[in-house]
Chain A
């Protein structure tokens, strides 16, 4: 019986694959997409302008792409795990060499049809790569020097390339994605503890090496009221916007902080601030619940997957998405320094959405092919 099921599920028909879809996850992603479109419409001042249009097109194309990806067997994603990593490393090198510079940092590369930010893609592909790396590894080998060194190189290489852009925020997020995989792969607890201790001890030296604007951000975070019109402006205005939203919010298109331009970067990093101002505590809580369901579904799909690759990818991706969300929110709520990380799906930005959708696509594929073993 067991054998039988296995054989049949190995070759799923088109409709069977459809049946295997995680509709809860899909619906949540679609709702999130809709919310993000509405919010983008609000940032455009209640008109369909550039940001709304562009966001809609990206959302439509990438959602379609995610659906197509879910029909592709998870083992193919496994097989190209190293390749995509190498390709993105190539893109990062390309960015370093011929990238487009915008506001003092060289993050984008012109691919003729799209301006891509490879560092965003790396946040996901590093998980794919490391998941593949640990897939076949025996547990006793996981904590070997060779493994640890190799995985560290896999993480540090893209980090280095992103730091020189310079984009410390994204580099840290890439590292967190990678570390998530290491964590689930079973690297000894003590290494994590050592790392955390080492990080805390070296913090003063790290700060000494930070660029002035980065140092300013840390100082501003610690005391935003010191320079309310300068460096502290973003945090203060963001907190005012969120706080003034109250329980029910100011109402759709009525966020005064945003449409009177007090809010900085409202399309990208501070999109949650605008949403929270207009929809209040209840709206924000609902948005958090949607994110929570998405993460829960990702983890559940991982738990139901037969293959170790799918499992470790889903868990790590779920953890990474969670970290992206919490870092972005903590930042706009004044709990963390401004590091410049987008809110998945909600924020304007093609590369970030592409990366997130690719992640969802692989998770969906893992769900559709959850009985697939990978040798």
Chain B
């Protein structure tokens, strides 16, 4: 008994000792668990809260509403319209096969279109939206609406899409939008940020240049989703911002007239305000309907545009490098006057051709003009006179003046990535670019705008404008914003040494249009309100051989690709001039017969609309 009780005591001692050890262990383990909880819930709380939100919140971005383009008078030239679309969420459709075949019948989908839809369906998750049709006609849309009872899970949706109401009129200016591709997303931050499948972005023109301003911001829908990605509830709807609406300097009426004048012709017309630099119209022909691209152009339409021999895809106003022909003569004359090479009395005898440095140079008038001074030579566009002036002037001095007046430089800077610089050659350039010395004969043909010299129509327009405004620098622009508000600038930078010289050239150009024997005399307007001054130009596309010169073919007798380009630059009204323009008709034959008559029509319209434009300028147009 004693034994047993002492054994009991020992057993109790042992168990209590071990209980103490166990208790201490428990205490420390408990502390461990609490610290772990503290670590996760207090210290790392933020991290896990973020992870938990990432788990449960999913964002759906909706396509932003694109900013519009307005013309100077507030007309919408690139706007948005409501596109009728058909969405299906496959998961919500009981019998997908039935519904999709029913839709095929109702929408009269072709087999190719139908296959595209089925392919798209296989690429998305069953709860994602399948866009069966993105731009339905109202007839089909209402037809679907009438059959909705039969089409469980089909949702007719009205969505916002781009629309160009003036179709081909503004294509080369504004460009067009189309579905964003991988390249667009990678190169433009704003597209990357706002990207949603089916987003339309600017592909060319101002639509592309001003992408960041136009694109706007997405509407964002935040949904709570479960572990399987199913939407449980909408948490938030964040309204996006519509893109910025841009107001252009363009006058739609003038633009439309330009389009009409160049109908079925290849060429370009630009009109500019000679004081503000505002571009009133800028058109390249032929053009195409940009609306074709919005929902993806069909293969047939694309082939038609691409293979057109008149090259509608080329923006001739900015990309077209043309020999300026006689339209360069005002600059040659000005340069010679400024450099004191000639004065108004300097006279050259024109016999129809002249022999210099062992080469024969022809004047356009076979019989010759006789004795010519500067004013007469400009009026009748005597080539022989300008050969001689150019020879005396030298190409380097000529190129200096030409560059001053905006030739050989991009007119719009970075505004258009496609714009060409043209080429104003000088001796240095030839040595660097071609590695050859300058030949004097090349100076001579440069004097009549042939040879290496190349200009774009917009450059010729700027050149004319700067002569018309008395020889002052202006900065051409298309888009009005806070910085460029289309007000007249107070101070101009002069481009001349002596303003008299500008006057002399202006007067010479005036004579060319308004005096008998002038090259564009037939296109003159006598009413002083509309009276304008202009210089014709005819640019040879190929060297004329001696036999051809003998034949003296009429324009229509020459194959299209070999006909001369017809050019015309002008400014008006002659008293207090306000607008300058340049016209180029590719292979139009002759400047005075093809291009100059267009100027008559243009000036009538431009000057008629001047008052309206002026009143708007002074009223401080309010941004919409």
What A residues does B228 contact at CB under 8 A? Answer: 261
Chain A, 178-214, CB within 8 A of any chain B CB: 183-186
A245 with B41, Cβ < 8 A, contacts A260-B226, A308-B11, A315-B22 known = yes
Asked whether B37 lies within 8 Å of A285 as measured between CB atoms, the reply is: yes
Asked whether A139 lies within 8 Å of B33 as measured between CB atoms, the reply is: no
Who on chain A is nearest to B7 by CB?
A138
What B residues does A330 contact at CB under 8 A? Answer: 33, 36
In this assembly, does B18 line the interface, its C-beta being within 8 Å of a C-beta of chain A?
A: yes
Of A91-99, A156-164, A236-244, which stretch is located at the interface? A236-244
Min CB distance, A358 to chain B, in Å? 22
The answer for the CA separation of A330 and B34 in the assembled complex, in Å, is 10
The answer for the CA separation of A60 and B188 in the assembled complex, in Å, is 66
Asked whether A281 lies within 8 Å of B224 as measured between CB atoms, the reply is: no
Q: Mark A307-338, 1 if CB is under 8 A from B, else 0.
A: 01001100100010010001001100101000
What A residues does B53 contact at CB under 8 A? Answer: 244
Who on chain B is nearest to A319 by CB?
B22
Asked whether A260 lies within 8 Å of B37 as measured between CB atoms, the reply is: no
A246 with B42, Cβ < 8 A, contacts A260-B55, A322-B26, A326-B33 known = yes
In this assembly, does B142 line the interface, its C-beta being within 8 Å of a C-beta of chain A?
A: no
Asked whether B37 lies within 8 Å of A281 as measured between CB atoms, the reply is: yes
What A residues does B23 contact at CB under 8 A? Answer: 299
Partner of B42, one of A237, A247, A256, A260: A247
Asked whether B19 lies within 8 Å of A315 as measured between CB atoms, the reply is: yes
What B residues does A319 contact at CB under 8 A? Answer: 22, 26
What A residues does B124 contact at CB under 8 A? Answer: none
Most buried by B among A240, A262, A335: A240
In this assembly, does B232 line the interface, its C-beta being within 8 Å of a C-beta of chain A?
A: yes
What A residues does B14 contact at CB under 8 A? Answer: 139, 186
Asked whether A242 lies within 8 Å of B41 as measured between CB atoms, the reply is: yes
Of B44-52, B564-572, B601-609, which stretch is located at the interface? B44-52
Who on chain A is nearest to B54 by CB?
A240
Which range contains the number of B residues in contact with the other chain?
A: 35 or more
In this assembly, does A37 line the interface, its C-beta being within 8 Å of a C-beta of chain B?
A: no
Asked whether B232 lies within 8 Å of A260 as measured between CB atoms, the reply is: yes
The answer for the CA separation of A127 and B413 in the assembled complex, in Å, is 90
The answer for the CA separation of A285 and B609 in the assembled complex, in Å, is 83
Asked whether B26 lies within 8 Å of A276 as measured between CB atoms, the reply is: no
Chain B, 24-71, CB within 8 A of any chain A CB: 26, 29-30, 32-34, 36-38, 40-42, 44-45, 47-49, 51-53, 55-56
Partner of B49, one of A138, A246, A262, A322: A246
In this assembly, does B225 line the interface, its C-beta being within 8 Å of a C-beta of chain A?
A: yes
Asked whether B42 lies within 8 Å of A281 as measured between CB atoms, the reply is: yes
In this assembly, does A170 line the interface, its C-beta being within 8 Å of a C-beta of chain B?
A: no
Who on chain B is nearest to A277 by CB?
B52
What A residues does B32 contact at CB under 8 A? Answer: 335
The answer for the CA separation of A330 and B37 in the assembled complex, in Å, is 10
In this assembly, does B517 line the interface, its C-beta being within 8 Å of a C-beta of chain A?
A: no
The answer for the CA separation of A71 and B42 in the assembled complex, in Å, is 45
What B residues does A27 contact at CB under 8 A? Answer: none
Asked whether B41 lies within 8 Å of A281 as measured between CB atoms, the reply is: yes
Min CB distance, B8 to chain A, in Å? 7
Min CB distance, B530 to chain A, in Å? 75
Partner of A183, one of B22, B37, B232: B22
What A residues does B45 contact at CB under 8 A? Answer: 243-247
Who on chain B is nearest to A261 by CB?
B227
Asked whether B18 lies within 8 Å of A183 as measured between CB atoms, the reply is: yes
In this assembly, does B118 line the interface, its C-beta being within 8 Å of a C-beta of chain A?
A: no
Who on chain B is nearest to A308 by CB?
B11
Asked whether A257 lies within 8 Å of B52 as measured between CB atoms, the reply is: yes
What A residues does B18 contact at CB under 8 A? Answer: 183-184, 186, 315
In this assembly, does A64 line the interface, its C-beta being within 8 Å of a C-beta of chain B?
A: no
Chain A, 268-306, CB within 8 A of any chain B CB: 276, 280-281, 284-285, 288, 292, 295, 299, 302-303
Min CB distance, A252 to chain B, in Å? 16
What B residues does A315 contact at CB under 8 A? Answer: 15, 18-19, 22
The answer for the CA separation of A261 and B55 in the assembled complex, in Å, is 10
Asked whether B36 lies within 8 Å of A257 as measured between CB atoms, the reply is: no
In this assembly, does B10 line the interface, its C-beta being within 8 Å of a C-beta of chain A?
A: yes
What A residues does B11 contact at CB under 8 A? Answer: 139, 186, 308
Residues of B whose CB lies within 8 Å of any CB of A are: 7-8, 10-12, 14-16, 18-19, 22-23, 26, 29-30, 32-34, 36-38, 40-42, 44-45, 47-49, 51-53, 55-56, 224-228, 232
Cβ contacts A to B, 16 pairs, < 8 Å: A138-B7, A186-B15, A240-B48, A240-B51, A240-B52, A240-B55, A243-B44, A243-B45, A244-B48, A244-B53, A246-B49, A261-B228, A299-B19, A299-B23, A326-B29, A335-B32
> Knowing that A303-B19, A330-B36 are A-B contacts, what are 10 other residue pairs whose CB atoms are under 8 Å apart, sorted by A's residue number?
A186-B11, A240-B51, A244-B49, A246-B41, A246-B42, A256-B55, A261-B228, A288-B34, A330-B33, A333-B40
Residues of A whose CB lies within 8 Å of any CB of B are: 138-140, 183-186, 237, 239-247, 256-257, 260-262, 276, 280-281, 284-285, 288, 292, 295, 299, 302-303, 308, 311-312, 315, 319, 322, 326, 329-330, 333, 335
Name the 10 nearest CB pairs between A and B, nearest first. Answer: A243-B48, A244-B52, A281-B41, A260-B226, A261-B227, A186-B14, A243-B40, A244-B48, A246-B45, A244-B49
